[in-house]
Structure 1
Amino acid sequence: MQRSAAPVGLATNREGPFNPPTQVRQGPLKEANLDCIQSVLGLDFSTLLHRGPDLCSHRWISIGSCEMFALGSVLSQRGTVVKEQPLVAEDVLSGLSYFMLWNGEIYSHVDDKISERFQDQFSNDAEVLLSLLKDTSSPEEIVRQFSLLRGPYAFILLELFSGRVYFGRDRFGRRSLVGKRSHNLTSSVGMSLTVISSVFLEQTTNTTDVDDWVEIPAVGLFVGQFSRSNGAWCFSDFLLYPWTAEHTTLSYNVSSLDVKQASCVLSHSSVSIHLGISTSSSIEEVSLRFLELLLDAMKDRILLASVVCTQCSRMADPLNAASSTCEHARFAVLFSGGVDSTVLAALCDRFIPTNQPIDLINVAFAQTQVNRNSNDSTQNNFVVISPCEAPDRQTAWQSFHELCQISPTRRWQLVTVDVSLEELRTVRSTYIKRLLLPSRLSVLDDSLGLATWFAARGRGLLHTATVAERGSFRTAYNDLTVGSVSYTSPAKTVFLGTGVDEQLAGYSRHRTVFE
């Protein structure tokens, strides 16, 4: 995966018709230039830059009277060399030039021979994809190529000489994509955008600025044109190629986009929701099939992941991530100690090399609780409950102990992250709210967003068990050799069990019924 949180911004004061590119300026984005570029475009790249720590690069593209800025901030997960984004490909025969900003990971393709190219651990999946796209001859062929992929992604593709832009998300919406609306074009052309990005980039978060932005729904792939009206360039005249007919009818915000729909749908997409389970299947058959699918998903994400952790990636040649041998934790699990996260950790153990530790990151928040023992109505009757007393912390210790018993040769590392009320409020207002824009913050968004943010940061206290303790069934979990060593997880990949609430029936009421 070349994960790139990538925006495209348009800015021009010149007039004239659309012309082919006349100039391209490219290179790494220097900090000294950042303030100037943000001022020209009226954007704030800070949130974007945090999402891609390995490499940040940009291109200025002059297209006649239009000047376009493309920025790629990369977290590299695939290939031996970190690639600058946007990626570029040129077709000598057609004269077309393609610029692609990619945030995703491709596990396979409908064509088995092409799949082999994507499944090569040392190849860059985004480069393989772009080589396929440049050999197409029509917009329909381009969107069809995306429909044949299996994996999470969001992308922006510019076809410069034709003046087309392609963008969209996989059919499950597993990568983010937003756009800033333009108010310069007439309503007859429908929706028009001046910026397409992984995240909200406005400099302020007031209501007026937020309302200019829209989440790009995962209903299909969009094809648009560079357009000009009232002295400003935009992306407009969009045609939507739906994943399925159901995608457009089920999505709550498709009608608000005001775009035309293609007569065909991408229903031949390689992603199938048919699990090979019939209504007459026994519980044992369903369980085995579920485990088979889950193992396949885990295997893809582990065997195709980066061969180095974030720490070794920084120490090695910045453009050659595989130039050093890494024996640190490349993988982590957001670990509550519940059934879902414990099963994910156990499955990770099957595929991750035995010489590498697995970080189990447990995030616990301080909470306020009514002090029922106080009779003084003049005082604040609330007490702060320490993160150490959180239920998830207790179950994490228990499950950590169980994993040590199940796989005693594995170096399991429990990372406890304690979040104070003050830090929680700061992160919520400074990062989480902005990352979720233009969507409004719900209670569930807030809860999952905070836990994911602190887990991804991975900063806490490291606890390990000795080899003897890992193999002992007599050792109580609170007697393990636990340290208070400050630690930041170097894992590049964090597994989360938040896709479906308690997929494996982990609530206590389910245990009660079972027992």
Structure 2
Amino acid sequence: MCGIALVLSGDCLVVAPSTAAAAEAAASGTPFSDEGKGVSVGELKEALRRRGPDSLGCHRFHLCADGTIVGATDGVDCDGGDKVGGGVGATELCFIGATLQLRGAEPVSQPLVAQSGSVLVYNGEIYGGINIANDQNDTQSLLSSLESCCCCDLHVADRDEAYPCRESVGKSVPRILSTIKGPWALIYWQADSKTLWFGRDAFGRRSLLVHWPTPDDSRFILSSVSPPSFSRNNSATKVSGLEAGADPDFSDHTKVCYWEELPCGIYSIHLKDLDNNAACTKEGCVVRKHDWTDSSLHTLIRWERKSTVPTVDGLISAMGSVDKGNHHLSSCFRNSREAEDSTSNGFEKRDLPSDICLSPAHRVLIALRESVMLRTNVNILYQGDLNKLEEAELAPIAILFSGGLDSMILPALLDQCLDSKWTIDLLNVSFDGQLAPDRVSSLAGLKELQRISPLRRWRLVEIDSNLANLKEESEHVMSLIYPSNTYMDLNIGVALWLAASGDGWVNGQDGDRYKHKSTSRVLLVGSGADEQCAGYGRHRTKYRVGGWVSLDEEMRLDVQRIWKRNMGRDDRCISDHGKEARFPFLDESVIRTLLEIPLWDIAKLDEPVGKGDKKILREVAKLLGLQEAAFLPKRAIQFGSRIARESNRKNFGSNRAANLASAGSVEVHKRNH
């Protein structure tokens, strides 16, 4: 996990001030300035440092009107204030990168600067699309690939259409980024073309916020997270800065917060046309959105299922194959566990079952297991750090653990992918001690995991809290969830933030309860399971009212808006502790596998809660030996931890009053004011 940011400022960013502001500036004789409510570079650094505690770097330079680069500086303290230098017409670009080092044989600090002068700050993991050896660093490998890209004007200016230069010169930046399998957000300065590229993956699994130029702050800013001082009271600002052509993600915006979630996609700002006589005004300096070039990725983004409405023949065939398929699945899965091959990086690599086991549940099991394996490789560099710890502390991977269906599947799969010498930490948060539903289910889940894998050292970390004692912490979490700002967002954010801290209590084998803080830097999270497998109550309502088609439409809507509703917020809350959240259910291959399976095999909402919802995952749980977890009902973290109940009592007086006020959608700052 890394924290990345860019501050772009200078004469090229001409902002048309409001009429009142212009009149006031004219009357005072003072030119309009961007020295208003702007966030400082220092504030960005402090916020990003929490995400990437291993190193913090900065690279600043000025692009003059004639296209030359001057005044390049590197280092943690390359602040130089927030003024633009470099002469008349100069544009300043300031890149910031904070790193949580998890991959590669040697530590790597960001920003990375190539010999060409190109600059990259990257936050993500590459699990496919670009070849990366086990001892290589993702960011270095990506920079190498980007440096081989064509930088001609045609590739920069348009939407990556087929140009003759591609075959002779190289791929385009959008084509490289479209091939990446895994979560990412990046900012890349392509020096040869004088183009700034930025964006985030198609499902928004890594946070990236954007500040569009306004009369109060005419800079263009990107950041993984908002500094605390700018998380509130910065809304309702009129947009009058960079335009984005006809792209629907940016059109028709009149008022926005200081920060917005950057919509998923690949964007560019082309600055090559600057000269001594013309600044890059808002008419000439536009943000362009580029198409994804990978056709298979388009299929996932559209989220089109092959079979939605069941036929009579299909249902009869499915019903007749359930028992037979489950028998084959269980036996094949048991056989696959017998063939183990321990590798040097800490994995236990097992043969996949034969082609005879191809029921829907087994296909999902294979995809999920591969996803967990890719995300839990104990890299050479990180493994060296772990070996310095006491044996009791050896827990490189933790799981945000409620004891529910999704969070039981993840540790069962992790147990098969991670060397048996490592402990697995299960992080559970409660606002009602041992009485919270998630605490009760986590204790039961621990026993079931111990039953299916008795040789593994499982460590349930019980993180207890009281909302009344979390005033400062809640204010800090408000800055992390921003621009989200409802009570539901805050409740979820606080619960995730506390759970990710790993700071709690463990019940020892001798019955003693001792304090423990998890050292795991990688956290597996079950995000995406409910959206893809019909786990929400509203899915059942949609199905009851409109049948299979209505259910499919609601699930598609959930997946396509997960970047805005969930992923950025959750990424910021978890990574604030210098931890990296990884989401196995949102792996591209898992999403593709689930879309290839008929909807009636994914869910059967005519059946009771705890049986028909997420039907496919319940079958996966049974294959893993999780007989009790296979029947657990869905319970959101804010309810399972009971933070929602405590929040309702504190802010609305009672649960009843909160329900009448639709408390989950109430904005925190509006009620406080």
* TM-score, normalised relative to structure 2: 0.54
Distance change >3 Å, CA 53–CA 15, structure 1 → 2: closer
- Confirm or deny that 1:287 pairs with 2:361: yes
Contact 2:211 2:258 in 1 (8 A): yes
Q: Which residue of 1 aligns with 2:105?
A: 80
**Cα deviations by residue, 1:71-96 (Å, 9 ceiling, x for unpaired):** 11111221122211111223xxxxx4
Q: Does the CA contact (< 8 Å) of 1:167 and 1:222 recur in 2? A: yes
Corresponding position: 1:62 with 2:62: yes
Please, which of 180, 188, 208 is the counterpart of residue 157 of structure 1?
A: 188
Cα distance in 2 for residues equivalent to 1:422 and 1:428: 10
Instruction: State the match for 1:259 in structure 2.
Output: none
Q: Distance in 2 between matches of 1:87 and 1:147?
A: 21
Letter in 2 for 1:330: P
Secondary structure at the counterpart of residue 8 of structure 1: strand
Residue number in structure 2 paired with 1:308: 382
Letter in 2 for 1:122: D
Give the aligned residue type for 1:72: G
The one of 87, 102, 107 equivalent to 2:122 is 102
- Aligned residue for 1:392, secondary structure, equals helix
Maintained 8 Å contact 2:117/2:191: yes
1 CA distance for matches of 2:384 and 2:438?
Answer: 27
Asked if residue 221 in structure 1 is aligned to residue 266 in structure 2, the reply is yes
Match of 1:332 in 2: 398
Q: Please say if 1:398 is aligned against 2:423.
A: no
Q: Does 1:510 align with 2:609?
A: yes
1:433–1:74 Cα change, 3 Å: same
Q: Residue 212 and residue 447 in structure 1: after superposition, are their counterparts in 2 closer, same or farther (change >3 A)?
A: closer
TM-score norm. by structure 1 comes to 0.70
Q: Select the structure that is richer in helix.
A: 2
Change (3 A) 1:299 1:308: same
| Secondary structure, counterpart of 1:56 in structure 2 | strand
| 2:376 match: secondary structure | helix
1:267 equivalent in alignment to 2:341? no
Structure with higher strand content: 1
Distance 2:203 2:442 in 1: 30
Match of 1:167 among 198, 220, 225: 198
Does residue 503 of structure 2 align to residue 459 of structure 1? Answer: yes
Which of 483, 488, 499 lines up with 2:528 in the alignment?
499
Instruction: Note the residue ranges of structure 1 that are not aligned, 5 or more in a row.
Output: 17-37, 91-95, 186-190, 244-264, 317-323, 366-385, 466-480
Aligned residues: 408
Query: Equivalences for 1:240-279 in 2 at 5 Å?
Result: 240-243=289-292, 267=295, 269=297, 272=300
State which of 278, 286, 291 in structure 2 corresponds to 1:237.
Answer: 286
Question: What one-letter code is carried by the residue in structure 2 that aligns with 1:104?
Answer: G
Deviations 1:253-277 (A, max 9, x none): xxxxxxxxxxxx6535488568898
Residue in structure 1 matched with residue 465 of structure 2 by the alignment: 419
Helix, strand or coil at the partner of 1:69: strand
Given that 2:530 and 2:536 are in contact with CA atoms closer than 8 Å, whether structure 1 keeps it comes out as no
Q: SS state of the match for residue 48, structure 1?
A: helix
In structure 2, how many angstroms separate the alpha carbons of the residues matched to 1:82 and 1:325?
24
Distance (whole Å) between structure 2 residues aligned to residue 223 and residue 360 of structure 1:
41
For 2:436 and 2:278, locate their aligned partners in 1 and report how far apart those are by CA, in whole Å: 58
Aligned 1:361-510 pairs, distance under 5 A: 361-365=427-431, 386-430=432-476, 432-443=477-488, 445-465=489-509, 481-501=510-530, 510=609
SS in 1 for 2:456: coil
Q: Secondary structure at the match of 2:174?
A: helix
Instruction: Judge conservation of contact 1:433–1:441 (CA < 8 Å) in 2.
Output: no
1:122 match: 135
Residues 35-61 of structure 1 show CA distances to partners (whole Å, capped at 9, x for unaligned) of xxx986474433221111111111222
Greater relative CO, 1 or 2 (CA 8 Å, sep 6+): 2
* Residue type of the alignment partner of 1:221: I
Distance 1:327 1:418, change over 3 A: closer
CA contact (8 A) 1:57 1:72 kept: yes
CA distance in 2, matches of 1:286, 1:358: 29
Give RMSD over aligned pairs.
Answer: 3.8
User: CA contact under 8 A between 1:88 and 1:98: conserved in structure 2?
Assistant: yes
Query: Match of 1:203, SS?
Result: helix
SS of alignment partner, residue 452 of structure 1: helix
Runs of 5+ consecutive residues of structure 2 not aligned to the other structure: 15-37, 65-89, 161-171, 236-255, 326-358, 538-606, 613-630, 633-673
How big is each residue's C-alpha offset from its partner over 1:274-306, in whole Å with a ceiling of 9 and x where there is no partner?
889896473552211111111111011012657
